[in-house]
Amino acid sequence: MSLLHQEYEKEIDDAARGEEFTKGSSHLVWASIAAAVLVTVAVTAFIWIGEKPPVASGEIVQAWTHSRHVETSGIDANGEAMAKQSFDQVLVFAHVKLTNQSKNPLVLEDVLANVKLGDGIDSISAGTAGQYDQVFLAYPEIAALHSNALSPHMSLAPGESADGNFFWAIRIGKQEWDSRKDLNFTFKFQYQPSVVLAPHTTIIEQ
């Protein structure tokens, strides 16, 4: 066999090996792309499955406020004399609709009014249904706001809805209240994520 023929066969072998290497590399590229696509689909599916709707839906139908300067009587619950106190206070009322859209009973642990002020957020717990009624005895001038009171510790069966009022007594001056940056309400459920609702209408001052 001539030297020329040997070199020609060597060139053919090298070309064939180069073609096989190129084919192998191409397969690796396509395999990598397919693997990336599968991972992306799997992650997306996991997130989609993991995103559950809120356990409850709701609406702040309307919110009202009533500002007061309070002076205590100087007598405690036992009729004993005590130092008088004076402070400014804003009463906040919210008409709320709340629905349990989960398959399990829901128990409220607390309902918070979150007031965003210049130095941070103050969160205040709602008063009880009994305290709600006492407020209207103390302040008859706002009797028009009196309606069905909801307990901040009530239970909701699956699919059950509640419609009524919560209230909060916040020790804050009217000027500071009027300068607030935001107001929303947190409904804290036992063993379940909280639900935050904000009023979508103008807060009425009474």
pLDDT tens, position by position, 127-143: 999 999 999 998 999 99
pLDDT greater than 90 at residue 150: yes
pLDDT tens, position by position, 17-31: 555 544 555 556 555
Percent of the chain residues past pLDDT 70, beyond the cut: 73
Q: Do residues 168 and 92 lie in contact, with contact meaning Cβ atoms separated by under 8 Å? A: yes
pLDDT greater than 80 at residue 37: no
What's the whole-model pTM score? 0.71
Sequence spans of domains, the chain: 1-51, 56-205
What topology is assigned to 56-205 in CATH?
A: Immunoglobulin-like (2.60.40)
Looking at per-residue confidence, does 84 or 148 come out higher? Answer: 148
Which of 199, 184, 62, 188 lies closest to 114 in space, CA to CA?
184
